[in-house]
A = this chain, B = another copy of it.
Amino acid sequence: MIHLSVDGMGGDNAPKEICQGVMKALHEYKNIKITIFGNEKLMNPYLEKNERLDIFHCEDYLAMDEKDVLKKYKENKELSMFKAMSFVKEGKADAFVSAGPTQAIILGGHFIIKRMKYMKRVAIAPIIPSYDGRGRFMLDGGANTELKPEHLEDFALFASIVAEKIYNRKNPKVAMINIGTEKNKGRDLEKNTIKLLEMNPNINFYGNIEPKEMFTSDADIFLTDGFTGNIVMKTMEGSIKGMGMVLKREIYSKLSSKLGAVLIKKAMKSTKKALDASEIGGAIIMGFEKIVIKAHGSSDAHAFKNALRQAKEMNELSILSIVEKNMRSIKEQ
Q: Contact residues of A with B, CB < 8 Å?
A: 67, 129, 131, 142, 145-146, 177, 179, 182, 186-188, 210-216, 227-228, 230-232, 234-247, 250-251, 253-254, 256-257, 259-264, 266-268, 270-271, 274-275
Contacts and interface: CB of A to CB of B under 8 A. Distances in A.
A266 B238 contact: no
Contacts of A179: 142, 145, 227, 230-231, 234
26 contacts: A67-B182, A129-B242, A142-B179, A179-B227, A179-B230, A211-B231, A211-B235, A211-B237, A212-B234, A212-B235, A215-B241, A215-B245, A228-B231, A231-B231, A236-B239, A239-B240, A239-B243, A240-B243, A243-B244, A246-B274, A247-B268, A260-B260, A260-B264, A261-B264, A263-B263, A264-B264
Contacts of A253: 267
Contacts of A271: 243, 246-247, 250
Given A67-B182, A236-B239, 19 more contacts: A131-B242, A131-B246, A145-B187, A146-B188, A179-B227, A211-B234, A212-B237, A213-B238, A214-B238, A215-B238, A227-B228, A228-B228, A231-B232, A231-B235, A235-B239, A240-B243, A243-B271, A256-B263, A260-B263
Contacts of A240: 239-240, 243
B186 A227 contact: yes
A48 B262 CA distance: 48
Q: How many copies does the complex hold?
A: 2
B266 A254 contact: yes
A194 to B, nearest CB: 14
Contacts of A182: 67
A215 B242 contact: yes
A42 to B, nearest CB: 28
Nearest to A226: B179
A33 to B, nearest CB: 36
A227 B228 CA distance: 9
A264 B268 contact: no
Contacts of A188: 146
